[in-house]
């Protein structure tokens, strides 16, 4: 299934067990992300307070 998904999107190249991504498309990343053992990214539901804390921490590091 992973191989079929990779073949559907021209931004993916698979060489020697290494997945290379050039000029990634959102649809392509979403499609392949679900099939990887280690996802490229994950969605997480946050509370409003968590968002505020993250924003404050980012502003402190500017």
As a whole number of angstroms, the longest Cα–Cα distance in the chain is 45
Query: 41 CB contacts (<8 Å, ≥6 apart)?
Result: 29, 33
Phi, psi of 29, deg, nearest 5: -65, -40
User: What's the mean pLDDT in 44-51?
Assistant: 94
pTM, entire model: 0.55
Q: Is the pLDDT of residue 58 over 90?
A: yes
pLDDT for 47: 96
Average pLDDT, the chain: 88
């Amino acid at each position: 299934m992973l191989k079929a998904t990779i073949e559907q999107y021209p931004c993916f190249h698979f060489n020697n067990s290494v997945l290379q991504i050039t000029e990634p498309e959102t649809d392509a990343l979403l499609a392949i992300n679900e099939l990887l053992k280690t996802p490229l990214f994950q969605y997480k539901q946050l509370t409003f307070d968590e968002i505020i804390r993250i924003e404050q921490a980012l502003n402190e590091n500017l």
